[in-house]
Amino acid sequence: MFGYQSNAKLKRPSRIKPQTSTPFCRRLFDATDAVLQAQLNRSTARMKGEEVKSKAAGFSLTELVVVLAIILVVSGLSLPSISRTIDKARLNSAAQQVASIYQQARIRATQDNNYYILPISAAGVQPEVCLDLDGDGACSASDPQAQLPADVSIDNRGVPVEIDPGTLGFTQPLTRTETSTGYDQQGAQVPGLAFNSLGVPCQRSSSTSPCLGPTAWVQYLQLRHSDEILYAAVTVSPTGSVKIWHYANGGAGSSWF
């Protein structure tokens, strides 16, 4: 009588659960961590690559020892050859100095309309050739000089093969210091090459005779190298031409060139 009432129980509406979501700071931290991790991975990979390259470009101790041994062997084989080449260059330099003083004497004789002799220092002293301008037969301080290394000797003795005048292009015999007849301007006998006012090599047969020419001249130079002697020569033709020669010791093929 008070109205209709159902037996079914009235259900209370269920409460809707809110959806869970990741806070913003958490997401930002995760993103930053991912970026840093990626950079770290790239750096590690780069370092490993450089380490691999470094290992690949290096040498082991065994390789270094082998290379060092090869260098020592090659150096030991080449040192004698290098030493001989240096001595040959020094001998050639001495021959060039002698040739230069010869040329200077020739030019000076024609300029001064006079003759000049070129004395050679005695054995056992500093080897030198000078242009005797003051005519006293000695190498004084005022005379132009060609001073040679102490181990180069100006010596015509013991030369294994003489230079053939035919090789030089003339038939006139070669005069040397030991066979020369020279006198200085004061009349004292001084052996050595001389040039007259015509610029040709000449010799004085006495203290009162003029310096007559032409003659041909040769001067040998020697330098001892280890167990051998190196030779060079300076020649003057009858016309006054000066030339340097070197000796090649090849047994039966020994020759001057």
Report the sign of the C-alpha dihedral through residues 130, 132, 138, 142, in that order: negative
Alpha-carbon distances, residue 243 vs 108, 182, 211 (angstroms): 18, 22, 22
Q: Evaluate whether 143 touches 185 at the Cβ level (below 8 Å).
A: no
Total Cβ atoms within 10 A of residue 238: 16
DSSP for 110-121, written as a single string: HHHTS-EEE-BP
- pLDDT, residue 203, reads 92
Residue type, 134: D
Distance CA 175, CA 165 (A): 11
- What would the two tokens of residue 208 be? 């009162």
- pLDDT, residue 123, reads 63
- Residue from 232, 93, 223 nearest 163 by CA: 232
Report the sign of the C-alpha dihedral through residues 198, 204, 210, 213, in that order: negative
Q: Evaluate whether 163 touches 218 at the Cβ level (below 8 Å).
A: yes
Partnered with residue 130 across adjacent β-strands are 145
Taking the chain, what is the end-to-end CA distance rounded to the nearest angstrom? 157
Question: pLDDT 10s per residue in the chain (257 long)?
Answer: 444 444 444 455 555 555 445 565 566 556 666 656 666 666 665 655 555 454 555 678 888 888 887 877 776 666 667 888 889 999 999 999 999 999 999 999 999 999 999 998 776 667 789 999 998 888 888 899 998 988 899 989 899 888 987 888 888 889 988 888 888 888 888 888 999 999 999 999 888 899 998 999 999 999 988 888 999 999 999 999 999 999 987 654 568 99
3-state SS of 211-223?
CECCCEEEEEEEE
Total Cβ atoms within 10 A of residue 255: 14
Question: Does 67-256 carry CATH code 3.40.50.720?
Answer: no
- Residue from 117, 140, 133, 128 nearest 192 by CA: 117
User: Structure pTM?
Assistant: 0.69
